[in-house]
Amino acid sequence: MYLMDFHHHTNHSFDSTAMMEEVCIQAIKNHIKEICFTEHFSVNPLAPTYGHMDFTKYKNDIQYCQEKYGQHISIKMGIELCEPHLLKDQYEQTLKSLNLDFILGSVHNLNNQKLRLSLKKHNLHAHTIYFEELYQMVATADIDVIAHFDLIKRYAYKEYGIYSFHDYQEIIEQIIKKAIDRNIGMEINTSGLRTQLNQTMPSLDILKLYKTLGGEILTIGSDSHKAESVGAKLRDAYSLAKECGFDYIYSFDKRKPIPIKIK
């Protein structure tokens, strides 16, 4: 199986201390053929990701690892943008010269507050606010793939349980249709399988709906922040993709989606 991990963080992200070279070494040991580093980045001074990224150092580390390990693993340079539908001009100005392979878009904050705080303030209604914000991102942002589609359940499930797909199916369907219309893909994020959540993000229901509505572009990412968990639960995600009817998982190169058949 041609394993790819298209969501990984290192010390270039504010919430990781992992060294890129150590991640690459471990990825090779785990038989991963392709990895994309997707460091957190925001141009919003109120976001926790603001001000951490040094793009010169990031590019240098990528190049070093490509030169040293490129015979064993394909290494791509990506980014995970936080609320990229906001401050779009600033994002475009910052990123236009980077020649990135891949851009993930995510909603980690609502009205400049972390999702956990939004849940504390709005209780279950925070789910509606989250999905509406996700729609705005998908409708306007310059991204390739939606990261961890239903991320809010990571922060909600212990107190509120896992949300009912049917309660939010209408807005979820609107998001998916807009994503397909704009050629934006979806990832299977395996990080929830490493916690008591015990689910991928998105859920099986959302993946099936994405497929039913004609969605094709699907990536898989561990969302790991440590070298030792690079590629964690990837095989489970590949099996889930097959179960939902997908025959291909996508790689990206210079932001162009490349289908790779699941074997």
Query: 74-100: per-residue pLDDT in tens?
Result: 999 999 999 999 999 999 999 989 999
Arithmetic mean of pLDDT, 50-74: 95
Task: Quickly count: other Cβ atoms within 10 Å of residue 157's Cβ.
Answer: 17
Helix residue spans in the chain (DSSP H):
20-29, 55-69, 88-95, 115-122, 125-140, 152-160, 169-181, 204-212, 234-243
**How many Cβ atoms from other residues are within 10 Å of residue 223's Cβ?**
25
pLDDT-derived band at 61 (thresholds 50, 70, 90) equals very high
Q: Interhelix angle for 125-140 vs 152-160, to 10°? A: 170
pLDDT on residue 214: 98
Which amino acid does the sequence have at 243?
Answer: E
pTM: 0.96
Query: What pLDDT shows up at residue 62?
Result: 98
CATH 3.20.20.140 is right for the domain spanning 3-261: yes
Q: Please report the DSSP string for 94-162 in residue order.
A: HHTTS--SEEEEE--EETTEEHHHHHHHHTTHHHHHHHHHHHHHHHH---SEESSTTTHHHHHHHHH-S
Torsion sign, CA atoms 137, 53, 67, 65: negative
